[in-house]
Amino acid sequence: MSSQGERSAAIADQERIEMLRTMVRIRKFESVIQNKFADAEVPGFLHLYIGQEAIATGVCQALEERDYLTSTHRGHGHCIARGLETDRMAAELYGKETGYCKGKGGSMHIADVNAGMLGANGIVAGGIPIATGAALSAKMRDTDEVAVSFFGDGALSEGAFHESFNQAGIWDLPLLGIVENNQYGEMTGLEEQHPPSALDDLTIYGEPYGVTRMRVDGMDVEAVYEATLEAVEQARNGDGPALIECVGYRFEGHHEGDSQFYRPDGELEEWKQRDPLLTYPRKLIDDGVLTEEEHQEIEAEIEAEIEDAIEFARNSDYPDPQQAYEGVYSDGGEQA
Amino acid sequence: MSSQGERSAAIADQERIEMLRTMVRIRKFESVIQNKFADAEVPGFLHLYIGQEAIATGVCQALEERDYLTSTHRGHGHCIARGLETDRMAAELYGKETGYCKGKGGSMHIADVNAGMLGANGIVAGGIPIATGAALSAKMRDTDEVAVSFFGDGALSEGAFHESFNQAGIWDLPLLGIVENNQYGEMTGLEEQHPPSALDDLTIYGEPYGVTRMRVDGMDVEAVYEATLEAVEQARNGDGPALIECVGYRFEGHHEGDSQFYRPDGELEEWKQRDPLLTYPRKLIDDGVLTEEEHQEIEAEIEAEIEDAIEFARNSDYPDPQQAYEGVYSDGGEQA
Amino acid sequence: MSTAAGDVEEMAVRDVINQTLGEEMERDDRVYIQGIDVSGRGGTSNILKGLDDRFGTDRVRNTPISEVSMVGSGLGAAATGMRPVVEVMYCGFLGVAGDQLLNQVAKMRYMFGGELDLPMVIRTKNVMGANAAAQHSQALHHWLAAIPGLKVVCTSTPADTKGLLKAAVRSDDPVIVFEHGGVYNRKAEVPTEDYVYEIGEAAIERPGDDVTVVATQNQLWNALEAADRLSAEGISVEVVNPRTISPLDTETIVESARKTGRCVVVDDTPLSYGTQSQLSATISEGAFWDLDLPVKRLGVDNVPIPFSPTLEDEVIPGTDDVVDAILDLA
Amino acid sequence: MSTAAGDVEEMAVRDVINQTLGEEMERDDRVYIQGIDVSGRGGTSNILKGLDDRFGTDRVRNTPISEVSMVGSGLGAAATGMRPVVEVMYCGFLGVAGDQLLNQVAKMRYMFGGELDLPMVIRTKNVMGANAAAQHSQALHHWLAAIPGLKVVCTSTPADTKGLLKAAVRSDDPVIVFEHGGVYNRKAEVPTEDYVYEIGEAAIERPGDDVTVVATQNQLWNALEAADRLSAEGISVEVVNPRTISPLDTETIVESARKTGRCVVVDDTPLSYGTQSQLSATISEGAFWDLDLPVKRLGVDNVPIPFSPTLEDEVIPGTDDVVDAILDLA
Ligand SMILES: Cc1ncc(C[n+]2csc(CCOP(=O)(O)OP(=O)(O)O)c2C)c(N)n1
Ligand SMILES: Cc1ncc(C[n+]2csc(CCOP(=O)(O)OP(=O)(O)O)c2C)c(N)n1
Ligand SMILES: [Mg+2]
Ligand SMILES: [Mg+2]
């Protein structure tokens, strides 16, 4: 993994604490949702982000409000890191009308366009062309907005990745691809999904397009943050697209219900030792940025927030069935 | 352009003459068809290969009968180099029932599966996945057959290229991609279709997949032949895919009727000085492999062959209209 | 709909497209074009010739040969403040962007709760009768109409080309505009004033009493010609132009069928699962009590389009076929 | 068709698929499977579990997440001596391979003159009622049936799953097999002997006199339940299973409609341009003189499928809806 150079000492204490809070919020939100899913309160499919929190957090910390992002089937972390509210997220997962998509999207399609969050996407690589279009739009409207697309290692095998980055390379678009390498696409390991030539460094997929390639430890939120900052700055300056591979691991199944037969013995445990939810608070405490008590407070505060969010979701109404016919078009109704 | 090392002195005289004959056949066939098209004898679209003869010829010379190939909208050269008969080809272009596809395919879909020629294709990059499947099949059937896919520079921008070579890289398939860089995709130059990072060497598109990359002068039939030989040998030995860029130029419009407004002054004339139909006979004569008289004989002989082919096409019948309903399925008829 | 009173101009469909897009680009600088060779060549069939000179290559933007990215990035641009007009040269290339159409463009607004505007146009062309063979000779408006969430229109005449294309560009929803290679050079009068048709409204192109023919694009011209011929024989044919394929103007179509009691539906899509089946079902159910005879579907037989002229002519309906179908019912 | 006399076994649809593919792979070593996670996980819904152990990962072959290549390389393999069975996990992912389906798989034989065998199966599943939202909840057999050159079947019962899947694997044409997530766990008797259904033949699942219901997959089970309920009220319902969506067995379907004079067609595709429209057109035209009432189409309203249970339930027909539709006609 290429080193990020000396870590800038310049990350402000407050930002570091903010990143910790974001990671805690993602972890707690998902852990609770995981239980509610097991209790059959949350319908549909559930792909958890647990283990990958440092990635969404580090990336989004480096963005501005005016930037755009697209996400994946595993999108809760991206949403929370982007600042979406956990109550409306929970309500969406519960299928309630107070949810971000009024119950029409669910886990795989959470979006908040007002926050520049152009949606989770149930199609692998489906968000990449959309982000490319946002980057194009940013450029055509003469802004310095940047578009970030999160996607998994698996998405690199889809043509949509290739066409988008090729176009971004030609047009020098402010497009940032975040490859979340969590070692698996569904239940299949990387070595069955990528040629040997790519396994050591998935950013090689960006090589033809002249993107800036970076590779960072996806369990290290600050490494992710700093790499993203650099890529974002470059994109804002008109120097074109970048691809950042964040090497990490997912701690839960591909989706809830996955037997996880495919994990070699000990692999999960080994990665868990690098759990950013363990290592980062420890680091901040070591660095004197945080006390153990403050850490506990953060945890408690966010636990309460998530509890409230779940209550909000529970207490919200299911959409009236007739709402199914609304929202297909700008003029309201369904097709005749 | 990377040098092919010293040119093997080992190309037999006979092979050299064979290659010349093939190139002459392609050129004469197309020149005549071009006239017949202008006379409205040949219906539909016509994309001519004139100028690129050395590529198809050099590649096919390096193949065995058991190998497969897929072609493009600009496919006549590939067919002729593969040994398809000019009479049945002409008949297909005329829309006659004696054509390779019984008049159902025309210029953009000529195929002769018995010759391992899995079809021209009207979709840019459309043949690449098919060739990948042929390579897979070759491997699964435990043969040493190789599949070759011809495609233009433009096809590198399609997702189908990427997905196919990624898969071939993972499965180590005997797949050979021939990028015919003729400087344009339709009426648009390379620099609008590929990132600056790729312009100097389009085989960089194969870099992520671990393919063997080669770049040769597409006006030099022997260079093309030798590069292909090397790649084919490697593929036969189970050492996986390769991508060969053949740098050349098309002398005619994208299709007949193209005003060619986009060519810079002098560009065509410059390339024409390297016309393999001029340079190669000269070289063979210089090398003492061929006499001027023999060259004239070849030209005359092939001219006569093409004349016969056109007569065959003209004298053949149009398919009976009812044949339109045949051949959709193995059981004959159309859909109910 | 605000059809024009006032001045008219005789124009070919191809020139109407160029003029209309030019007007819309003048009107709103968020409107831009992207596609293969849209600059320089002027896009497919050279329709856009000169727009690059007028608006620059930033707004008339050549893409690489990448339909996924062309359509998908159009969607992303539409979601973030631009109003893209994406050109897909031949409708047969829509398949390359299949996911973008099926899952992204069609579903994005709805999945996200219904409030996101997606002002995006995809222009493409049906092609028939050009000996272009199966991949280039296709009519696919039924295929996109089969995806809920897409608005699909077919342009047929110079006048509806203007009204529908303006409606598409100004719509805050994705609209797929199917042009037809066979009508690009058709000429007729077009009102010079600015007007916008309602998406979802059919038009009676020619009123009549005995038989209704519902027809699109090339087949609309065939139907009008057939109606002309038959009027000489005392048969009065009503010709309906659906204009919008999805959503369909069921009311206008069924009303005409109820009036005449006899219906031919003719279109370049395949006879099975094509536009004709949707029309036949709609009419058969909606005009059930008034139909004197079964609806007659006319279209492309269920084969890919063959190359050879004798074969292609066989499978595509022509004016004679429309005349015969009407006579069968009259 | 050779339905079985003799032994039967009670089996779930999911187990029938596994067993049938296993039998066909034993029978012919050119048959192989490729798709995402087909080995290990056993493919979508774990249906293929264990086939990798039996046949090895060469013949049960995990692909990268690349639908274009998965389908396209299957076609190339089929053209050169193999008999691939490609799994596309959800039918909603078919769009990614849109060009392969529309222009390559469907047209290759015809364009090349009709003599090239392409023994290829694409298995995929329709999904409805699983709160999987718009991209994963789709039924798309109408969308592929709209492409001439593809044979499209829908499997519904354990017995037809076996007969149709065997037919598909043994066919020398590409066959798209639509399974349905909602019937994987349905159980019924399956003949143990080897049998192959004819592609293009519908079946009367339950004979009746008063109303015909043509229904597929999940809706077939709803229709059978509705028929049961209504028989208690003295209404005799004939339930027709089309089995093949393209080509459609017009004869069997129209004959039933002519007998009863009243028809409901119900399917999980959208009401506009869906399977129902093709069925309604076919029946309305073919049984014109015998219909007492207009054909009634029942299906998914023209919206993408929403996530929330209250919304999804609203747009997908259930048994009650089928009952009501029948009562409207009876
Ligand atoms: C086009 C498409 N093909 C297949 C799937 C099924 N699918 C859902 S998630 C997934 C794995 C994605 O792997 P990766 O991109 O590495 O993301 P991860 O799940 O590891 O976060 C697959 C194959 C899909 N959703 N879309
Ligand atoms: C999917 C698709 N998009 C667009 C086209 C239209 N088209 C035909 S040929 C061509 C240019 C191809 O360029 P290249 O691959 O370089 O081949 P060349 O014509 O130069 O031989 C294009 C865009 C097509 N046939 N298929
Ligand atoms: Mg992954
Ligand atoms: Mg080219």
Domains in chain B and their CATH numbers? 13-313 (3.40.50.970)
Is ligand 2 within 6 A of the CB of residue C36? yes
Is ligand 1 within 6 A of the CB of residue A48? no
Is ligand 2 within 6 A of the CB of residue B122? yes
Nearest Cα of chain A lies from the Cα of C105 at a distance, in angstroms, of 10
A 138-157 residues with CB below 8 A of D?
154-155, 157
Q: Is the pLDDT of residue A78 over 90?
A: yes
Q: Under an 8 A CB cutoff, do D134 and A185 touch?
A: no
Return d(Cα A97, Cα A90) in angstroms, integer. 11
pLDDT for the residue C5: 63
The encoded tokens of residue C32 equal 């831009």
Tens of pLDDT, residues B264-299: 999 999 999 999 999 999 999 999 999 999 999 999
Strand B242-247 versus strand B212-217 pairing type: parallel
Return d(Cα A316, Cα A96) in angstroms, integer. 6
Tens of pLDDT, residues C50-84: 999 999 999 999 999 999 999 999 999 999 999 99
Return d(Cα B5, Cα B98) in angstroms, integer. 45
Is ligand 1 within 6 A of the CB of residue D87? no
Look at residues C250, C254, C265, C213 and name the one whose alpha carbon lies nearest to residue C235: C213
Q: Under an 8 A CB cutoff, do A324 and D136 touch?
A: no
In the reported structure, the alpha carbon of residue B122 is separated from the centroid of ligand 2 by a whole-number distance in angstroms of 8
Amino acid at C99: D
Q: Under an 8 A CB cutoff, do B123 and C306 touch?
A: no
Closest alpha carbon within chain B to D119? B330
In the reported structure, the alpha carbon of residue A180 is separated from the centroid of ligand 3 by a whole-number distance in angstroms of 7
Return d(Cα C164, Cα C169) in angstroms, integer. 9
Of C67, C132, C310, the CB nearest to B45: C132
Tens of pLDDT, residues A227-275: 999 999 999 999 999 999 999 999 999 999 999 999 999 999 999 999 9
Q: Is the pLDDT of residue B90 over 80?
A: yes
Q: Is the pLDDT of residue A9 over 80?
A: no
Q: Under an 8 A CB cutoff, do D148 and C107 touch?
A: no
Residue C330: how many other CB atoms lie within 10 Å: 17
In the reported structure, the alpha carbon of residue D70 is separated from the centroid of ligand 1 by a whole-number distance in angstroms of 14
pLDDT for the residue B86: 98
Q: Is the pLDDT of residue A3 over 60?
A: no
Subunits with 3+ Cβ pairs within 8 Å of D are A, B, C
B 82-101 residues with CB below 8 A of C?
95-97, 101
Tens of pLDDT, residues D76-106: 999 999 999 999 999 999 999 999 999 999 9
Q: Under an 8 A CB cutoff, do C288 and D304 touch?
A: no
Query: Is B210 at the interface with chain A, CB within 8 A?
Result: yes
pLDDT for the residue B4: 44
Closest alpha carbon within chain C to D305? C111
Q: Under an 8 A CB cutoff, do C40 and B261 touch?
A: yes
pLDDT mean across residues, chain C: 97
Of C67, C113, C250, the CB nearest to A327: C113
In the reported structure, the alpha carbon of residue B162 is separated from the centroid of ligand 4 by a whole-number distance in angstroms of 17
Residue B264: how many other CB atoms lie within 10 Å: 8
Residue C27: how many other CB atoms lie within 10 Å: 13
Nearest Cα of chain C lies from the Cα of D20 at a distance, in angstroms, of 30
Ligand lying nearest the CA atom of residue C97: 2
Which chain C residues are Cβ-neighbours of B329 within 8 angstroms? none
Q: Is the pLDDT of residue A62 over 60?
A: yes
Q: Mapping DSSP to helix (H, G, I), strand (E, B) and coil, where does residue B210 land?
A: coil
Q: Is the pLDDT of residue B335 over 70?
A: no
Q: Which residue has tokens 């006319």? A: C298
DSSP A273-330: TT-HHHHHHHHHHHTTSS-HHHHHHHHHHHHHHHHHHHHHHHHSPPPPGGGGGSSSBT
Q: Mapping DSSP to helix (H, G, I), strand (E, B) and coil, where does residue D290 land?
A: coil
Tens of pLDDT, residues B31-76: 999 999 999 999 999 999 999 999 999 999 999 999 999 999 999 9
Least confident of A9-13, A184-188, C250-254: A9-13
Q: Is the pLDDT of residue B263 over 60?
A: yes
Is ligand 1 within 6 A of the CB of residue A122? yes
Closest alpha carbon within chain C to D303? C148
Is ligand 2 within 6 A of the CB of residue B75? no
Beta-bridge mates of residue D211: D237
In the reported structure, the alpha carbon of residue B264 is separated from the centroid of ligand 1 by a whole-number distance in angstroms of 46
Q: Which residue has tokens 């409306």? A: A88
pLDDT for the residue B40: 96
CB D201 within 8 A of CB D1: yes
Query: Is A45 at the interface with chain D, CB within 8 A?
Result: yes
Mean pLDDT of C118-131: 98
Is ligand 1 within 6 A of the CB of residue D89? yes
Nearest Cα of chain A lies from the Cα of C75 at a distance, in angstroms, of 6
Look at residues D31, D175, D141 and name the one whose alpha carbon lies nearest to residue B329: D175
Tens of pLDDT, residues A153-191: 999 999 999 999 999 999 999 999 999 999 999 999 999
Is ligand 2 within 6 A of the CB of residue B22? no
Of D134, D143, D275, the CB nearest to C143: D143
Q: Which residue has tokens 């204009």? A: C243
Look at residues B223, B203, B202, B212 and name the one whose alpha carbon lies nearest to residue B54: B223
- State the number of CA atoms in the 13 A half-sphere of C218 facing the CB: 26
pLDDT for the residue B333: 57
CA D207 and chain centroid, separation = 21
DSSP C4: P
Q: Is the pLDDT of residue A5 over 50?
A: no
3-state SS string for A211-230: CEEEEEECCCHHHHHHHHHH
The dihedral over CA atoms of D178, D184, D186, D191, expressed in degrees to the nearest 10, equals 70
Return d(Cα D46, Cα A54) in angstroms, integer. 32
Share of chain C above pLDDT 90, in %: 98
Cis amide leading into C247 (omega within 30): yes
Of D68, D133, D309, the CB nearest to A105: D133
Active site residue C141: no
Q: Under an 8 A CB cutoff, do D72 and B129 touch?
A: yes
Residue D134: how many other CB atoms lie within 10 Å: 28
DSSP B218: T
Tens of pLDDT, residues D132-170: 999 999 999 999 999 999 999 999 999 999 999 999 999
Subunits with 3+ Cβ pairs within 8 Å of A are B, C, D
The encoded tokens of residue D59 equal 């013949």
Ligand 2: residue whose CA is nearest its atom 13: B185
Nearest Cα of chain A lies from the Cα of C118 at a distance, in angstroms, of 9
Mean pLDDT of C267-290: 98
> H-helix or E-strand containing C284?
helix C275-286
Q: Is the pLDDT of residue D263 over 90?
A: yes
Query: Is A114 at the interface with chain C, CB within 8 A?
Result: no
Q: Is the pLDDT of residue C110 over 70?
A: yes
- Residue contacts between B and C (CB atoms, under 8 Å): 128
Q: Under an 8 A CB cutoff, do A159 and B157 touch?
A: no
A44 band by pLDDT with thresholds 50, 70 and 90: very high
pLDDT for the residue B10: 79
What's chain D's length in residues?
A: 330
Look at residues D95, D295, A106, A321 and name the one whose alpha carbon lies nearest to residue C147: D95
Ligand 1: residue whose CA is nearest its atom 20: A185
pLDDT mean across residues, chain A: 96
Is ligand 1 within 6 A of the CB of residue A74? yes
Q: Under an 8 A CB cutoff, do C72 and A135 touch?
A: no
Subunits with 3+ Cβ pairs within 8 Å of C are A, B, D
